[in-house]
Amino acid sequence: MIPTVTNPLGTDYRQPLTLTALSASSSVTLNATGSPVVSGLKYRTRSGSWQSYTTGTTVSLPSPGDYVQFWNTAGQLSTGILDCVQFAMTGTIAGSGNVQSLLNFSMQAPNSCFIKLFQGCASLIYSPEFPATTLSGACYYNTFYDCSALLTAPALPATALAGECYKYMFYHCSSLTAMPALPATALSYHCYKDMFNGCTSMASMAVLPAPVLA
């Protein structure tokens, strides 16, 4: 059973990570490199029930509005750049729901948990939600690296950052026009390093309220 999880503002985050086709003949695949923790991965499509997911399996989304949802009953996923999962997509895809469903809806982001998760997904135009409030080192490293069609960035509510947590997160997201709010007041080494490097369409900047920089 999907657990009941609310964020500190009371918003219900029980909606799993959802990837919806906006064009015909779209597809989604979750690939594994090395030995990430994938034994608890499950998925379901628009008319289906939850079933085990084997990394490397392509889920076809033939019509606009078709979608696939992912849930991981384990509290870990990727553990480093050599042991990680990474989506591959075709067509046009909108992300929604809670990415923390890949960590059984925990509100924590462990070390390297979403490293490279959507890297190179030129089909992705909208991001799912990233509601974790407790971050660990490199948790979002390269998460949206080179997502050249991404139009919106997720809210990032954490107020205390870990080393390299947002490093290269939106690197070369050349369609992104606005930064999300960055409310963190406690920073760590390289936490924002090249986070928006190559975001050539960026028209507005976020205020950084941290009184002391790392």
Question: Which tens digit of pLDDT belongs to each residue from 20-66?
Answer: 999 999 999 999 999 999 999 999 998 789 999 999 999 999 999 99
Q: Which amino acid is at 142?
A: N
Q: Are 87 and 55 in contact (CB under 8 A)?
A: no
* Cβ–Cβ under 8 Å, residues 75 and 18: no
Q: What pTM was computed for the model? A: 0.92
Query: pLDDT, tens digit, for every residue of 115-166?
Result: 999 999 999 999 999 999 999 999 999 999 999 999 999 999 999 999 999 9
Asked if 77 contacts 105 with a C-beta cutoff of 8 angstroms, the reply is: no
pLDDT of residue 168 exceeding 50, the answer is yes
**pLDDT value for 151:** 96
